[in-house]
Amino acid sequence: MDFDEIKESLEFLDDWEDRYKFVIDLGNELPTLPEHEKSAASRVEGCVSQVWLVVDEAEQQKLNFRGDSDAMIVKGLVAIVVALFSNKTPKEVLDTPAQEVFQEIGLNEHLTSQRANGLRAMIDRVYAEARARAA
């Protein structure tokens, strides 16, 4: 599912319980990373749950992110981060105001502080990967 579809679905759902279920469903749809990719190098520091992010370079210098987590809601957040940033050039990734986007869809206000910190850590990791490839 692309980010616009995710955003539209979240905006349609009024109830936060329904939104949480939707986020969990997104995580369930996210392909599991192979065990060999769940390494220290791909682990996102700053998340209470285990989170891994992997980036692949595609055609025309576009980046594709893949991720996984051992926690259901966090895996859904990983799916949203992957959808937001994948298939963009490093510059496009860096120009994406992720915190504003997540605020706009109302995601930040209903996350525990630990999950919000983990989400920030994921976003920081994506930006770091894009900066490394933009150089």
Give 65-77 pLDDT, tens digit per residue.
Answer: 999 999 999 999 9
Residue 23, CA distances (Å) to 42, 73, 81, 130 in order: 22, 6, 11, 25
User: pLDDT: is 8 or 57 the higher one?
Assistant: 8
DSSP notation for 49-78: S-EEEEEEE-GGG-EEEEEEESSHHHHHHH
pLDDT level of residue 54 (50, 70, 90 thresholds): very high
pLDDT level of residue 107 (50, 70, 90 thresholds): confident
Model's pTM, two decimal places?
A: 0.93
**Distance between start and end Cα atoms, the chain:** 30
Q: Is 47 a catalytic residue?
A: yes
Q: How far apart are CA 18 and CA 24, in angstroms?
A: 10
Phi, psi of 50 (to 5 degrees): -80, 125
pLDDT (0 to 100) of residue 125? 97
pLDDT (0 to 100) of residue 108? 73
**43 neighbors 50 (Cβ within 8 angstroms):** yes
- List the catalytic residue out of 6, 30, 44, 47: 47
Q: How far apart are CA 119 and CA 54, in angstroms?
A: 15
In b/e form, how buried is each residue of 75-104, taking b as 16+ CB within 10 angstroms? bbbbbbbbbbbbbbebeebeebebeeebee
DSSP β-bridge partners for residue 69: 51
Give 27-50 pLDDT, tens digit per residue.
Answer: 999 999 999 999 999 999 987 899
Residues with Cβ within 8 Å of residue 126, at least 6 apart in sequence: 53, 55, 65, 81, 85, 93, 98
Domains and CATH numbers, the chain: 3-134 (3.90.1010.10)
